[in-house]
Structures are given as C-alpha cells and as structure tokens.
Amino acid sequence: MELNLEKKEKCSILKIKGDVDLYSSPQVRKQILELVNSKNANLLIDLAEVTYMDSSGVATLVEALQLAYRNKGKLRLYNLGGAIRDVFELSKLDRVFEIYENEQRALEGI
Amino acid sequence: MIDIIEIKIPSEARFLKIIRAAVKHICETMGFIEEDVNNITLAVDEACSNIIKHAYCGPTDQPIHITCNLYDDRLEVLLRDFGKKVNIKNIKPRKLDDVRPGGLGVHLIKTVMDIVRYDNSFDQGNQLQLVKYLRK
C-alpha cells in the first residue's frame, strides 16, 4: 500500500494505492488523521488505485470524516472503483460521505 | 460432488492477502459472478480479521484454519480458530444509523453471505460457517 500526498493552496490531496485492510489501515489512519486534525483542513482522497478496502479502511475514513467535521473542514472522496463503491453501499455509508466522480468535481467549492 | 481446499495461516494481518487471493480464485473457478466473488472475498477476509482481533487479541503466531468446501451449487467456508471463546450473544452487527468507526465487519458478513453460523461448542476456540449459493 502506498500513500502519495499533494499539498494545494486550499486543500491536501491524498492518493491511496493498493489494498487497505487490517494490515495497512493503521498507516492510512495515521496519515489521514494528521491531515484533518487542524481547523478548516480540507482533504480530498483519491481512491482510484485502491484495489481492496475492508471495514477497517471504511472505519478509518468515518473517523477522519468526523474529525474533519469537528474542525469545520471537509473530507471528500473521489474516483471510487466498482468494488470499493460496493463496500460503501453495503455499509450504507455512501450517503454519509461526499463522494465525487473525479478530482475536478471534488475540488469544486473548496 | 465436493472438492476440499484447506489453507492455514498464522494470526497475522499481513497474511490476509493470501486468503483473499485464494478465495477470489476459488470463487472465480466455481463460476460466481464478479459481485459475489468480491463479496465472498470480503466476508472471509472480515471473518479472519475478527479472529485476529477478537479470538487471539494480539499474538501473531496462532493458527487460523480455513476449509473451503466446493459443492456444485454452493461454496462453504469454515473458519476455525483456537483462541478465546466468543460469546455468540455478543456478536451483533452495528446499527447502520449509528455512524461511527468499527463494528462494520459482522454487518458486511451477514449482508453478503447466505448462511452465517457460529459454533463455539468446541473444547477450545470457535468455528464460523459461511455459505454462499451460486446464482441460477
């Protein structure tokens, strides 16, 4: 699993590559929570190259979403592949997250 | 007719990828559609994660035995651990309107599999039976 971070003027963009499971999710959690743990921090997460995500990965994103919300920031997801989108739908969390088609859409209003 | 495939891994999260690859391949070989292949793989992975987290609670050298019984109409996966006995009454899927991290694994397993049965009648450990039928 790889994490690539890009800092922009009004937000950070994190690209996750590979499997997010019980083994790798602690690393993802550490990085994501750092990025949303300040006032008005906006984080966009590109999931295009995520090949697998289990409930620990989803739970990490839920935790980050709640922290971002408390800090009056935004956490947005985009480029979800079919299998990853299915996990969010099965968890009924597709309605909780702001999910966008692509980076351009996700950047709108940030 | 039944084919039996047995896999044994230590209770270490980095080996879950091996289980996912094997289960995915078994499901594809049996003719499950892609959605079911992904769902069964997810369910078995979540079940193994639960064994690592809740039955063994830390040690990474404990055995997890996964037996896949391939029937003509269904796949049965038996997951056997030798850790702490799980109180079946305490295994509950999380309420989905309760948006919080954690507790999702059991919900996912129960949602995607046709049969989910816990057996803690062994002297030591637990066994979880997961069954998914092929679509006609």
| Mean pLDDT calculated for residue range B50-60 | 94
Closest CA–CA distance from residue A65 to any residue of chain B (Å): 10
Question: Which CATH number characterizes residue A54's domain?
Answer: 3.30.750.24
Substitution target in A22, A58, A92 with the highest count of B β-carbons within 10 Å is A22
Supply the pLDDT for residue A92.
87
Task: Indicate yes or no: pTM above 0.80.
Answer: yes
Question: Which CATH number characterizes residue B43's domain?
Answer: 3.30.565.10
Residue B17 has pLDDT above 80, yes or no: yes
At residue B100 the predicted structure's pLDDT band, cuts being 50, 70 and 90, is low
Q: pLDDT for B74-99, tens place per residue?
A: 999 999 999 998 887 777 766 656 65
Supply the pLDDT for residue B94.
65
- Structurally, chain A folds into a number of domains equal to 1
Do residues A52 and A20 lie in contact, with contact meaning Cβ atoms separated by under 8 Å? yes
Residue A2 neighbours by CB under 8 Å, 6+ apart: A16, A17, A18
Do residues B45 and A54 lie in contact, with contact meaning Cβ atoms separated by under 8 Å? yes
Q: What is the ipTM of this complex?
A: 0.93
- Structurally, chain B folds into a number of domains equal to 1
Closest CA–CA distance from residue B129 to any residue of chain A (Å): 20
